Structure formats: C-alpha cells, structure tokens
Homo-oligomer: A and B are copies of this chain.
C-alpha cells in the first residue's frame, strides 16, 4: 500500500523516524485484528462485518505495574471514548490503548479487563481496580455495527501479536470500516524526530470529514473529486481517534499541551471537526513511568524546560506534522471497500492524487 511519501511528497520540515510510525518511539507496540466477513444486505446482528480492533501498547511490560505518564484532550466530545476521567485526574495510563467501533467499546473494555486481571492477580483484591482506555469510531456505513462483532478473543489476539516496526495502515484493525472525507479511511501513522533527539509518533483511526473539505498540503483535493468516487449515500458524521507517543520526558500537564496541538494537524487536512465528529486525543510518554506500588513517598520525574522554548515547540511541531501525515497515510494506504447493503467507500486514487500534487507544485517529478 502506498504511503504519502511514496507519491514524491515530503510534508512538513522535521525528519521522520525509521518507520515513520508510532512504533519509532522505542518500546511502543501495535497489534491489529481485522474482521471482514459477509456481504450483501445488512442483517443486524449478523453482518456483513467490516470492523476490527487496534491496540497500542506504550511498552511491552506490565502496564499496570509500570504505568506511563499520559494526558487526554477532547477536541469534540461527541463520542464514546472510555477511561478519560482517570487519565485527567492522575496523569497516567495503566493499560494498553484500544481502538474499535462505537458500539463495541464496552466489549473491548471488558476484554481489556480480562487481560489485565489475568496479568495482575491482585487487581480487585489488594490493588484497587484498573482503568481501560478505549477509543472508537462509527463504522456503520460499511459494518453491521449493531452486531458488536469484536470479541474478547480478537482483543487478546491484537494484544498478543502486537509488535514494533512497520504498522499496517488503511482498512485494517479499527479502521477496517471507517470513512475519511468520503473516501475509505482507516489506520494511519507517522513520526517525527526533533533536533533535541526525541521521537514523537502518531497513530490515527480516521473517520471524519466531508469530501469537499479534503486538502492535501493545501491542495483542494476534495474539490477535484467532488462528483466522483462518492459513496451512494452520505456516511454518518464520523470521528477521529488520535494516539500520540513520545520518548521525551514530559509531565501530564505537558503531554496535555502536546495533545491539544493534534487538532492543528487535523486542520491541515481540511478538518472542521463537524458536530458529529468525536475528536479525541490520547498522549503518553515512555520516559516517565510510575510503579503501581512505589517504594518511596516522594519521587522525581523529568520534564522538558518549557522556558527554553525550542525543545517543546519542536515537539508541538512534531505533533502537528505527524497527525497530518498519519491522516493522509490512512487515506493513501486504504483500499476500496464494499460493505453492508453494497455501500462502497472508494480508495483515494493515489495516482490521481500524485498528479494533482504535481500540478499544484507540491510533489516532485
């Protein structure tokens, strides 16, 4: 599947990490399960199925015992993301982060609890409970969302097979059934390296946007496809989930500042954050970990000195560029998908996109 850079485009100014993926942040793992089954008319509860689950693990150890510092930002709260209250209060994430479809959030959260309970026998006995963090998009244009077809076994498979390195993009995992600017969207990722030596990666589940608003590097791509490759009816107003990872040492407050900037990356693709689009951001740092049972009453944590603004500003820029490119990668990597009732979401034709970008002077060749 082509990525945006395969079209001769170099968006932004910062260099990418090795894989141009969230997994460029050392230790971060991604696992996905894609569910495609059936075709034809929708039979609620039965199919067709075009959905899945994407798991992001901040590290490969026991996340409950070794939590990561984290923050969330809700840019538009019309959505059902789960687990945000505790992250806001405590500034930590203690489970893998799961993405799925809207109606499947509880089942996926329940499976995360299964996983955490198995790994941590003291939860619910001597160690309090656990806070699953789950995000979602509405994939009902293609998928029998009422069927809630993502089951515990799929979640566990995504967690168990999570790995570093390249990340599958497009119509996979939690992005299997999603739409972006009226094209087939899905999972996308990108990363940036900052001059101070930090890596920041973004992963998105893209499911937002009206065709006419799509911009690629400012080129009005959506206008060029205004009357072509449209879905027969309008997909429901979607959403976008954004996960940010970094190895920069940051406090929860600082991660919140990074998370705010994700919206700026969305905007570069033409997003207006429509009323029905639940736009949520989850950010974590792998550099500040908190044990579940600390040995001391006082601990030290490291933070970027914001007074010397270059280091934090480069991280902000890395967020904006990574989110922009991750969304565009979710489009270029997606393949045309037909789902329930013959609903079809077309892939953004990457050859035409490349032509357009060249015509507007934004791609090489």
Chain A residues proximal to chain B, CB less than 8 Å: 13, 42, 44, 74-86, 88-91, 102-103, 105-110, 113, 117, 121, 123-125, 128-132, 138, 140, 144-146, 148, 196, 212-213, 215-219, 236-237, 249, 251-253, 257, 260-261, 263-268, 271-276, 278, 280, 290-294, 296-309, 311-313, 316-317, 320, 359-362
Contacts and interface: CB of A to CB of B under 8 A. Distances in A.
Contacts of A77: 85-86, 88-90
Contacts of A215: 218
Contacts of A320: 267, 272
A104 to B, nearest CB: 9
9 contacts: A42-B125, A76-B89, A80-B132, A128-B276, A253-B253, A264-B266, A275-B309, A291-B307, A360-B362
A267 B307 CA distance: 23
B309 A276 contact: yes
A148 B113 contact: yes
Nearest to A360: B361
Contact of A253 (B236, B252, B257, B359): B252
Nearest to A127: B236
Contacts of A213: 317
Nearest to A71: B253
Contacts of A132: 80, 106
Given A84-B85, A106-B110, A266-B267, 14 more contacts: A44-B124, A77-B88, A79-B85, A103-B113, A124-B144, A129-B145, A218-B268, A218-B362, A261-B272, A265-B267, A267-B268, A273-B316, A274-B316, A298-B304
A312 B275 contact: yes
Contacts of A146: 117, 123-125
A322 B144 CA distance: 39
Contacts of A125: 42, 44, 140, 146
A287 B29 CA distance: 37
A275 B313 contact: yes
Contacts of A130: 103
Contact of A85 (B274, B278, B304): B278
Contact of A260 (B145, B273, B280): B273
A105 B112 CA distance: 12
B301 A305 contact: no
A227 to B, nearest CB: 15
Contacts of A106: 82, 105-110, 113, 132
Nearest to A140: B124
